[in-house]
Structure 1
Amino acid sequence: MTGHVLAARCDSLGDVLLTGPALRALRAGAGRLTLLCGPRGRAAAELLPAVDAVRTWHTPWIDAEPKPVDPAAVDELVAWARAEGFDHAVIFTSFHQSPLPLALLLRLAGVPRISAISVDFPGSLLDLRHRVGDDVHEVQRALSLAHAAGFALPGGDVGRLRVRRPGAAPPVAGPYVVVHPGTSVPARAWAPEHHRALVIRLAAQGRSVVVTGAADERALTASVAGDDALDLGGALSLPQLADVLAGADAVVVGNTGPAHLAAAVGTPVVSLFAPTVPAARWRPWAVPHELLGIEVPCAGCRARECHAPGHPCLDDLTPDAVADALERLAPAIDREEVWA
């Protein structure tokens, strides 16, 4: 049993959720587990059952909108890590991120053992330099590092995503589906007019539809919902969103954090997956799903803004195709029969 373990996952909401199984492995072999995360991942970190404490720190070499390096903030992080007296730090990253800047800061803080996946030569910054293949799912990538560092999932834990949630009542009576039109990256978003057409078609089929989104997406969710769906844009905290997703028959969502939150509560996902990053690494984990997208020559571009005319990888996908995928995952129910 290791004493106090520090885990680091410093990017976004979905990334933190996908690291959840690895964090449970760390916690099974640690007396205490602290998670260092970025501001974008904080809300997800607070839902993870294995984490004892969360520390938020903006990481300039990882955050999608990096702030200038602040020497005072760096000194504060080093002082905090030194005071915590961590016995082992495990730095989780995606394939395109480097763990070495954070490893250097933790070395300055006196952390005696540091583990990470690193393509680059780490010198004395890492005690364990782990290697993995290219097309490994993010969940498996993180679990592989945890196992190499000497931590294993407890018995009976098969490595699915898991979150704590309030357990609130569903927002509508009877079966419903969720349509989540927003994404954290514009290049991963299906067109709003396609979402609107999908909602109209689903409502015509007799389905109840709930549209969800963040506070800054209220205009988007209102236009998508129209008079045909319940618009919850900006109305839900992340735990509340988890409850809404948990009660749904399925969710239609892009490659963004709520897709992984849906997987964490066991809800099937129609994944509108723009191939800006490989689906092998980022598809919904261990939950029934339909992966939809159009193969394009620029796949793997990692672009935040699409520069291809017409955004063909997603916007060539028709609302009919999405509705058909939803029907395969969660067949429409005759509501009169169900509620008679």
Structure 2
Amino acid sequence: MNWQGCKNILCIRPDNMGDLIMSGPAIRALKESFGARITLLTSTMAKSITPMIPEIDEVMIYDVPWVKTAEAGETEAFYNIIADIKSKDFDAAVIFTVYSQNPQPTAMLAYLACIPNILAYCRENPYQLINNWVPEKEPYDLIKHQVQRDLDLVATIGAHTNNNDLSLNVKDNSWPAISTRLNLLGVDLTKPWLLIHPGVSEQKREYPFKLWVEAGKRLMDDGYQLVVTGAASERLLAGRLAAEIGAACFSTAGLFPLKEFVCLVKNSALLVSVNTGTIHIAAAVNTPVVVLYAQTNPQHTPWKVPHVVLPFAVPAHLRSRNEVIQYVNRTLYNQPVAMPDAEAISNAVKRLLSLPGSSIQPSPGIPDENPAIAAS
């Protein structure tokens, strides 16, 4: 079928918030190329970011049982979502995945809803289940950034965009209220301040608490106030961390709803975080990132924003049993990598803040052995 005739397209990204943000440019390509109405089917974990993605016209929420999500779905809900999808008479469906996911269970939703055109990467021949099938070559032949992977998928059916930036609609009119709350906590916004984000959804991506404290103390010695961010469920962690680091460190976990949190990230000079959705939010609002990067998926580094990646190995007992991920561990992640220390984090922060246009002047004396700065 000529995809130019597809004006009502379902995009399916049933994962986390960060995954959805990285699919944004590909969704933009579909909308711009075909003039289509875009409906997104996603999870409860990603739904709160959807109002900020301008290319999405409508959102459907369903937690599929074959993706790790916050809530377990009921069998009846499976049939209900198929009926809901079918009622919307979609011309086509596009399924976005990471290379370690099998798209066929997700494709079954679209197939049973009688969507005539279904596009996805697939390792096996899906025959009629995915009738616009792109053979999966990752990670055995190559590995692309997730943004590029998704753009290349939609390019196979003629969808392109001249703007492959991540994008979130952020209203700066909430900044005065945010800054007032920061001031009440004790943050002096006339002096240098940074964000640190310690929370993760998986134990294997945790950066040790003790090392967070050491890094925070070092950054305070460098002259920066620290604002610890996190969800309401991370208040205890953030509060403990702020208390251990010292007087110039302030916890805001649970204080800001997502729209305000995105605005906070946008107005920060820099973010230090583990590899979680927060780094993709930062990339979408053009805030530099130092990411403490657990070696899980190499596709998910910050996209097109100044950043430094400081990798560390995932303990063997926490590694995935997925054979595709095990292959990456055996080939790409086959050498031991120690946890980055406070000095490495300090040096990365200084290097990023020395870039032209930085809103904070770094402390003097940046060693030559600092990690290279990258902008994918």
The count of aligned residue pairs is 322
Between the aligned partners of 1:53 and 1:128, the Cα distance in structure 2 is 23
Deviations 1:202-221 (A, max 9, x none): 22222122110111110111
Structure 2 match to 1:20? 24
Relative to 1, partners in 2 of residues 1:36 and 1:190: Cα closer, same or farther, differing over 3 Å? Answer: same
Match among 79, 90, 97 for residue 94 of structure 2: 90
**Pair 1:284 & 2:307 matched:** no
Q: Which amino acid aligns with 1:196?
A: V
- Given that 2:39 and 2:57 are in contact with CA atoms closer than 8 Å, whether structure 1 keeps it comes out as yes
User: Does residue 324 in structure 1 map to residue 347 in structure 2?
Assistant: yes
**Are residue 121 (structure 1) and residue 125 (structure 2) matched?**
yes
- Find the residue that maps to 1:124 and give its secondary structure: helix
Report the Cα distance in structure 2 between the residues aligned to 1:219 and 1:19, rounded to whole angstroms.
32
User: Are 1:45 and 2:50 an aligned pair?
Assistant: yes
Q: Provide the C-alpha distance between the structure 1 equivalents of 2:112 and 2:41, rounded to a whole number of angstroms.
A: 16
1:315, CA displacement in angstroms?
Answer: 6.6
User: Is the Cα contact below 8 Å between 1:116 and 1:129 reproduced in 2?
Assistant: yes
Unaligned runs of 5+ in 1: 305-311, 336-340
* Match for residue 255 of structure 1 among 267, 275, 278: 275
The letter of the residue matching 2:152 is S
Matches of 1:292 and 1:334, distance apart in 2: 19
Letter of the structure 1 residue corresponding to residue 224 of structure 2:
R
**Distance in 2, Cα, partners of 1:91 & 1:252:** 31
**Structure 1 vs Structure 2 CA RMSD:** 2.4
Query: CA 1:248/1:27 → structure 2, altered by over 3 Å: closer, same or farther?
Result: same
Counterpart residue number, 1:275: 295
Secondary structure of the residue that 1:273 maps to in structure 2? strand
Give the equivalent residue in structure 2 for 1:238. Answer: 258
Cα distance, 1:66 vs structure 2: 7.0
For residue 293 of structure 1, give the secondary structure of its aligned residue in structure 2: strand
Q: 2:156 matched to which residue of 1?
A: 148
Label 1:71 to 1:64 Cα distance change in 2 as closer, same or farther (>3 A).
closer
Equivalent position amino acid for 2:214 in 1 = A
Inter-partner Cα distance in structure 1 for 2:69 and 2:51: 21
State whether structure 2 residue 14 is matched by structure 1 residue 10. Answer: yes
State the distance in 1 between where 2:90 and 2:70 align. Answer: 29
Normalised to the residue count of structure 1, the TM-score between the two structures is 0.88
Deviation beyond 4 Å, 4+ runs, structure 1: 295-300, 312-315
- Percent of pairs identical after alignment? 30
C-alpha spacing 1:224/1:313, structure 2 compared with 1 (3 Å): farther
The 8 Å contact of residues 290 and 345 in structure 2, kept in 1 or not, is answered as yes
Moved more, 249-258 or 324-333: 324-333
Maintained 8 Å contact 2:145/2:300: yes
Q: 1:201 is matched with which residue? A: 218
Does 2:75 match 1:71? yes
Residue 308 of structure 2 aligns with an amino acid whose one-letter code is E
Post-superposition offset of 1:254: 0.7
The one-letter code of the counterpart of 1:325 is A
Distance of aligned partners of 1:211 and 1:180 in 2 relative to their CA distance in 1, 3 Å threshold = same
Instruction: Please give the per-residue CA displacement for 1:3-35, whole angstroms capped at 9, x wherever unaligned.
Output: 110000001111111111111111112331000
Displacement, 1:46? 2.5
Give the stretch that moved more between structures: 321-330 or 123-132. Answer: 123-132
Relative to structure 2, which stretch is displaced further, 88-97 or 315-324?
315-324
Q: Deviations over 1:21-76 (max 9, x none)?
A: 111111112331000001111122222110001111011011256736x3311111
**Does the C-alpha gap of structure 1 residues 166 and 314 become closer, same or farther in structure 2, counting only changes over 3 Å?**
farther
Cα distance 1:296–1:10, how it changes in 2: closer, same or farther (>3 A)? closer
